[in-house]
Amino acid sequence: MHLHLYATSYVGPLREGDWHTQIFLDEDHVAWVVKSLASARRGIAQGRAVFNAYVATRMAELLALPVPQVAVMVVDNALLEAFPQLRTQAFGGFSAGVHLATRYHQGTTLSTFRAARLSELGQRKVVNKLEASGIVVFDTWTGNPEHADETQLGLYENEGNLFFETLRPGELRFMTLGHSQAFTGDWHDRADKDPSHRLGNWPTRLMGHYDIFVRGHWLNIDACLKYVALLQKVTLSDLKMIVNEVPTAWREDIPESEVEKLLLNLLLRATAMEKIVYQELAMLPERLRERVARP
Amino acid sequence: MTSHITAYYSLVQFVPDRIRGERINVGLILQAPAHGYAAMTYRRQMDSVLRAIHPQVDAQLIRFLVQGLADTFMPYANEPRYERLFPGQPGEGHPTHPKYLAGFHDGYGLLHVTEPTVVLVNKTQGLAAKLRVLRERLLEVSTNVVDTPSVTKSELTKQVVTLLKARHVPLVTQPPSFPGERWPHNRFDALSMHQNRRHLHFLSYDITEAPSAAAKGFVMSVMDLRSGGIRYQNDHFGVVVQPPEHHSSNKEDYEALLRVCHFHRIAVFENQPADVKRLTERLLGEQGLAI
């Protein structure tokens, strides 16, 4: 059993206007960002969003990648009585039970940096650039398009999901948020419109190409291969342990056989990761030139 | 029977100017009306914090006000030892009731009490322990920041100059400024005269903020003097740098400096024994700092 927290107080919504993510406080008065089960199920990944987010983030933690901590948070009736607005649809429609909590960190996102025209500065102060390779490898492994991928639609960057935390004056540490679309979102129920969105039929391209990773030369083949070797060491029992931490309320609709299939697919994909990394990173200088040419 | 107590916490804030709205947390009140509990904790050394936000504050007055408020809750600050058979139902005028704090919202005061917020307190943890946790989170700023060791410019200068003087290098550490083509004041950190002028500059990149402006000024001065025709044609320029060992975020600036110095033929020496030895030899030799 991993971390189980008890919500003792409520602060407010994370962002003005987005009422579905709320900040709660645990027994140590530490802030956690909580998305209600009801609102999580309305996203692309539907019933699997919470499962995906929890399992993928715990897997990333296993590989020591820069992701915020996740936990299971118990929201009690006593708290909902004190803050009745949380039950309403506008505040995410919370009900008593277990919800997914992500540790709240204060800092800036890439979009804030871009808006302030400070991406250069942000890039210069980041101290954990090597971990960018790990994120790209991990996103490719789990088929997570949430951060950035180059699809037929062209370059797409989710700037709000790259987060910079201030450690000491002059030093930033980047972190990636958003793992609810790992295992390509709703990995089984989706209709056959896009074949890459089916379980085990994941794209054979690198994902997680943030422009800042590529332009800033943060990606490096040695570091990528080091991370590939690391994730190949992950065993079925490691993954099963993580899946067993997931509360039953989050996986009611997911049959055991599907989970089994997902885990086996992950292990199978891990063995083929080296080829993808080699192919893609060899092409990187060319692609960089393309991007520089683009206005 | 529930395992949690419903309690309320409010922050006591110092507001020097209601119009500006700046505020700082100076105290914290925790109330559990059903258990007849109310307690307040406050910053012990608050004067410097108050003055930082408003230099003309009468810190003593604020301290007395906060202490006076804390004394109001003193009689109710005992941790309830036993579960009450019948939960207390204090009136709104009772200090353990959250509505009691509304009496402090007078709109003029220097102290502001925030609206009570519900907080569930684990019975095994207890109210007094919760108050300590809240104090740690809401009043105190954690000071366990590990300071990265750094080498400032003056430390670097002192270290290298001491080593050079120990090796009998004639060195002027506060040389005059040299007029160039563009600027009348081109100043470097050290000067050694031996057949020709040898200018030395010191730059440390092992500090929080990279000395980019200083480095740029140095290179511009070198370019200025070199463009000054016959006057400075025999001058040699060198820079002694402290590489960013602890502050890795300065690495790119440091490498940029190395490239620029290489381009402009400025000799670079690092702060390490082998380089200081090389620098000594160059300063004492006929060759000078020329690359």
Q: Between A and B, how many residue pairs show a Cβ–Cβ distance under 8 A?
A: 59
Complex prediction ipTM = 0.77
Widest CA span in chain A: 59
pLDDT (mean) for A76-82: 93
- State how far Cα B45 lies from the chain centre: 19
Do A99 and A115 reside in the same domain of the chain?
no
Domain containing A145 equals: 107-293
Domain boundary among A103, A137, A166: A103
Q: How far apart are CA B92 and CA B86, in angstroms?
A: 18
Do A9 and A142 reside in the same domain of the chain?
no
Query: In this predicted model, what pLDDT tens digit does every residue of B268-283 receive, in sequence order?
Result: 999 988 999 999 999 9
Q: Does A78 touch chain B (CB under 8 A)?
A: yes
- H or E element in which residue B38 lies: strand B37-42
Q: Calculate ∠ Cα A149-A152-A156, nearest 5°.
A: 35
pLDDT (mean) for B128-156: 83
Helix intervals (H) in B139-250: 153-166, 212-226
Contact A108, A180 (CB under 8 A): no
Confidence class of residue B32 from pLDDT cuts 50, 70 and 90?
A: very high
Q: Which of A78, A83, A170 sits opposite B247 (nearest CB)?
A: A170
- State how far Cα A82 lies from the chain centre: 32
Contacts of B138 in chain A (CB under 8 A): 29
What torsion do the CA atoms of B155, B161, B166, B168 make, to the nearest 10 degrees? 180
pLDDT (mean) for A266-270: 90
Contact A218, A227 (CB under 8 A): no
Find the closest chain A residue to B253 by CA distance: A124
Do A67 and A183 reside in the same domain of the chain?
no
Do A96 and A170 reside in the same domain of the chain?
no
At B132 the pLDDT is: 93
Do A79 and A153 reside in the same domain of the chain?
no
Q: Which of A8, A127, A168 sits opposite B119 (nearest CB)?
A: A8
Tracing tokens 């917020």 back to the chain, one arrives at B117
Q: Does B125 touch chain A (CB under 8 A)?
A: yes
Q: Which of residues 80-99 of A touch B (CB under 8 A)?
A: 82-83
Contacts of B115 in chain A (CB under 8 A): none
Cα distances from B52 to residues B59, B110, B142, in angstroms, run 11, 15, 18
Find the closest chain B residue to A173 by CA distance: B249
The yes-or-no verdict on residue A154 having pLDDT over 70 is no
Find the closest chain A residue to B138 by CA distance: A29
Domain boundary among A67, A83, A103: A103
Contacts of A165 in chain B (CB under 8 A): none
Find the closest chain A residue to B145 by CA distance: A168
Do A114 and A249 reside in the same domain of the chain?
yes
The yes-or-no verdict on residue A152 having pLDDT over 50 is no
- State how far Cα B4 lies from the chain centre: 40
The structural domains of chain B, ordered by start, are 4-138 (no CATH), 153-284 (3.40.1350)
Q: How far apart are CA B99 and CA B10, in angstroms?
A: 11
- Label residue A46 left, alpha or beta by phi (over 0 means left) and psi (-120 to 50 means alpha): left
Number of domain units in chain A:
2
Query: In this predicted model, what pLDDT tens digit does every residue of B167-185 receive, in sequence order?
Result: 988 888 888 889 888 888 8
Residue B232: Cβ within 10 Å count: 21
Lowest mean pLDDT across A251-260, A277-286, B161-170, B247-256: A277-286
Which among B109, B107, B108, B89 is positioned nearest to B99, based on CA atoms?
B89
pLDDT winner (highest mean) among A108-122, A202-216, B100-114:
B100-114
Q: Does A130 touch chain B (CB under 8 A)?
A: no
- H or E element in which residue B127 lies: helix B127-138
Q: Which two tokens stand for residue B129?
A: 């322990």
Q: How far apart are CA A110 and CA B218, in angstroms?
A: 34
How many residues appear in chain B? 291
Domain boundary among A49, A80, A103: A103
Do A81 and A119 reside in the same domain of the chain?
no
pLDDT (mean) for B91-108: 84
B122/A29 CB distance under 8 A: no
Do A229 and A259 reside in the same domain of the chain?
yes
Contact B199, B236 (CB under 8 A): yes
Q: How far apart are CA B160 and CA B272, in angstroms?
A: 9
Residue B216 φ then ψ, to 5°: -65, -45
Per DSSP, which regions of A106-160 are E strands? 107-109, 148-151, 154-157
Residues forming beta bridges with residue A173, ordered by sequence position: A165
> In a 3-state reduction of DSSP, which class is residue A150?
strand
**Residue at A87: amino acid letter:** R
Q: Which two tokens stand for residue A16?
A: 């003005």
A78/B117 CB distance under 8 A: no
At A11 the pLDDT is: 92
Do A37 and A116 reside in the same domain of the chain?
no
Do A82 and A143 reside in the same domain of the chain?
no
Q: Which of A10, A29, A170 sits opposite B249 (nearest CB)?
A: A170
Do A9 and A153 reside in the same domain of the chain?
no
Do A114 and A203 reside in the same domain of the chain?
yes
B248/A30 CB distance under 8 A: no
Query: In this predicted model, what pLDDT tens digit does every residue of A25-36 receive, in sequence order?
Result: 999 999 999 988
* pTM: predicted TM-score of the whole model, two decimal places: 0.73
Q: Does A30 touch chain B (CB under 8 A)?
A: yes
